[in-house]
Amino acid sequence: MSGATLTARLLAHDSAARRLLVWATGAGFVAGAMLVMQAWLISLIVDGVFLRGQTPGQVTPLLGMLAASLLVRSIALYAETVLGQRAANGLKQTLRQRLTSRLIQAGPLPLRDERAGELVNTISEGVEALDAFVTQFLPAQALAILLTLCVLLVVLILDPWTTLVLLFAAPMLLLMMALIGGRAKSLTERRFLELSWMSAFFLDMLQGLPTLKLFGRSQEQAATIQRVSAHYGKTTMEVLATAFQTSLVMEWAATAATALVALEVSYRLMAGQLAFAPALAVLLLTPEFFLPLRTLAIRYHAGTTGKAAAQRILKLLDVAHASSLTPGRQDAGTCADDDPHSALTGRRTVAAPLRQHAADILQSPLAIRFDHVAFAYGNRPALRDCTFTIAPGSRVALVGATGAGKSTIANLLLRFAEPQQGAIWIGATRLSALEPAQWRQQVAWVPQHPHLFQGTVLDNLRLARPAASLAEVSAAAEAAGAHAFISALPQGYSTPIGEQGVRLSGGQRQRLALTRAFLKDAPLLILDEATAHLDAENAALIRDAVVRLSAGRTVVIIAHRLELAAMADQVIVLEQGCVVESGAHADLLIRNGHYRRLAASLAGVAW
């Protein structure tokens, strides 16, 4: 991606920031134009006073214009700084909000290959790196063109011969800057990647500290951090050294070109071929001709750092945006000739419109039907031609070996992903026709590893219903079997539980997740391995709570333990993404099929 394209895409996310940046660049141009004007005024004043013998009164208008230009330049420089910083602040805020919202909208599946530390580094340090890119590099890049052409035009009017020297020197400077800048670009990109990797590695190390301590590998990982930090520091010094080389070369080249101009202007002045006023003006303007290029060289480091960050930000936005698109919605407004209910009723059913309210759809119990659904993670198929029906108000258990497709079905029901083939129907309505956020309000989910945030017990429980009173929360906790242990905590419901609930046991965390489900009181409940890693006592408590929670709801249970499968009205057996058996628990055991063999392998006995 070219620099211009990258900048255009970046600024397209915030039109206000783009306008402010244009105004900031315009203010910088005005400040540069005032320097050109000052050079010409100074040459006229010196020529008038020292060569023409003019009195101070005669040059007073020129002095007034000089003072006015100084004032305008000061205001323009202030405006350039303020407008540029406002543009940067606005763009950073917009990008952080857009990154966060798109990542949330995309859901967990598209981010499964991303490291959390790298994502955090991109949203924090990556976005922050755009500050200098917007306030310094982009204006310097534009002014290197505008001001250079402006000074060149003025010099062309004053002394065409000097213009030839400048036209020869400027491309040489740009060529040298490009040659050195290419190395700076590669070093800066490597430095940004190293920082992202180090952030992700450090986060992984902290989260896995108990495991590292257990295997005696904590010191080894600390040594790895030290090596990477040393390498990162070396890369940083190489970037700074390259930036210094660029500035040094530009300074030498500009000084040499200015000296050359001084020689040729002095020779023609002494030969009487050039008047004093234009000669002095040209000498004063020559350093200003190279100043924008030198400024760009100094700020080139900020530009390469910002570009590396911008590329990562835009890539992440593209991934999140592509993942947030809902393929199933594109045909949601067409006539549903493939409606499974139309074949039964003999009537054509019109699919529900986009953004139809899920609450309206679920106001009466409706069946959930998977109709030839297929889904794959990249090149790995997860579901293949999967068809089954969940009767309203029933409890359905999904069983099968690891990788059979159970969690994929849960992800599809939660709208974390969309079917790549086939469709999911809620009654006579495609699930893809419902607004995802409204649909999720009708679904309660108890995952295998519930996430608890830094905060109090009450804060975590009220995620399900922020407006719930303490009495309502307590009632939900009582129903989930969590009230007793919560009350025993030092501060009860106001007890901080630490990041990811580190101060609680696995059974306690699972009961808090069930409390959320009770508090949400949704008509559809999805239980994902709710008792998979619990001891017998906690598993029994969770099962009792699940029975109470299931009353009057449609329940989908992803089960590894036969106790939960035995509670279900229907058991669906999955193998390599296909439904191979379905029926009641007792009936499937009699058939001596897949379910019986699976039950025997889990129980360790032959049926």
Strand 429-430 and strand 349-350: the pairing is: unpaired
Most confident of 62-76, 333-347, 494-508, 551-565: 62-76
C-alpha distances in Å from residue 72, one per residue of 289, 302, 415, 553: 20, 28, 58, 72
Q: Where are the beta strands (DSSP E) in 33-88?
A: none
C-alpha distances in Å from residue 263, one per residue of 68, 268, 429, 554, 600: 32, 9, 84, 91, 98
> Which letter does DSSP use for residue 341 in this model?
T
Dihedral sign, CA of 131, 136, 138, 139?
positive
d(CA 254, CA 259): 9
Q: Residues 249, 277: contact at Cβ < 8 Å?
A: no
d(CA 243, CA 301): 6
What length is written for the chain? 607
Question: What is the per-residue pLDDT for 348?
Answer: 31
- Rg of the Cα atoms in the chain: 35
Q: Say whether pLDDT at 349 is over 50.
A: no
Q: Say whether pLDDT at 408 is over 80.
A: yes
Please give the mean pLDDT across all residues of the chain: 78
Least confident of 11-25, 53-67, 89-103, 198-212: 198-212
- Chain centroid to Cα 247, Å, comes to 34
Half-sphere exposure of 561 (CA within 13 A, CB side): 18
Dihedrals phi, psi of 122, to nearest 5 degrees: -65, -45
Q: Which residues contact 187 (CB under 8 A, 6 or more apart)?
A: 235, 238, 239, 242, 304
d(CA 136, CA 146): 15
List 422's β-bridge partners, or say none: none
Question: What is the per-residue pLDDT for 249?
Answer: 72
Mean pLDDT of 347-371: 55
Tokens 């590893």, residue located: 449
Q: Say whether pLDDT at 352 is over 50.
A: no
Q: pLDDT class for 122, splitting at 50, 70, 90? A: confident
CA dihedral 533, 534, 540, 546 (to 10 degrees): -50
More confidently predicted of 344 and 275: 275
Question: What is the per-residue pLDDT for 239?
Answer: 66
d(CA 300, CA 244): 10
Domain ranges of the chain: 89-320
Strand 524-528 and strand 380-390: the pairing is: unpaired
Question: What is the per-residue pLDDT for 440?
Answer: 84
Fold topology of 89-320:
ABC transporter transmembrane region fold (1.20.1560)
Strand 380-390 and strand 554-558: the pairing is: unpaired
d(CA 93, CA 105): 18
Q: Which residues contact 588 (CB under 8 A, 6 or more apart)?
A: 571, 573, 581, 595, 596
Closest CA to 286 of 267, 262, 307, 309: 262
C-alpha distances in Å from residue 15, one per residue of 19, 91, 132, 321: 6, 9, 19, 19
pLDDT tens column, 383-399: 999 999 998 888 899 98
Question: What is the per-residue pLDDT for 176?
Answer: 67
Amino acid at 551: A
Closest CA to 254 of 220, 216, 295: 295
Question: What is the per-residue pLDDT for 371?
Answer: 92
Instruction: Find the helix or strand (DSSP H, E) in which 189 lies.
Output: helix 160-207
Most confident of 195-204, 345-354, 574-583: 574-583
Dihedrals phi, psi of 381, to nearest 5 degrees: -65, 135
Closest CA to 90 of 120, 123, 139, 130: 130
Q: Say whether pLDDT at 102 is over 90.
A: no
Q: pLDDT class for 339, splitting at 50, 70, 90? A: very low
Token output for 417: 């992903």
d(CA 527, CA 543): 11
Token output for 232: 């990162």
Mean pLDDT of 262-271: 87
Q: Residues 539, 531: contact at Cβ < 8 Å?
A: yes
Q: pLDDT class for 172, splitting at 50, 70, 90? A: confident
Token output for 437: 């956020």
**3-state SS class at 99:** helix
C-alpha distances in Å from residue 253, one per residue of 146, 183, 245, 292, 578: 20, 19, 12, 14, 71
Q: Say whether pLDDT at 222 is over 60.
A: yes
d(CA 186, CA 180): 11
- For 544-582, letters b (16+ CB in 10 Å) and e give ebbeebbeebbbbbbbbbbebbbbbebbbbbbebbbebb
Q: Where are the beta strands (DSSP E) in 366-407?
A: 368-377, 380-390, 395-399
Q: What is the DSSP string of 437-463?
A: HHHHTTEEEE-SS----SSBHHHHHTT
d(CA 18, CA 450): 42
Mean pLDDT of 355-382: 74
d(CA 539, CA 557): 14
d(CA 368, CA 370): 7
Q: Exposed (0-12), middle (13-18) or buried (19+): which is 157, by Cβ within 10 Å?
A: exposed
Q: Residues 529, 558: contact at Cβ < 8 Å?
A: yes
Closest CA to 143 of 272, 216, 36: 36
pLDDT tens column, 433-489: 888 878 888 888 888 778 888 788 898 888 888 888 999 999 888 888 888 888 988
Mean pLDDT of 540-549: 73
Q: Which residues contact 311 (CB under 8 A, 6 or more apart)?
A: 1, 6, 189
What is the model's pTM? 0.63
More confidently predicted of 478 and 235: 478
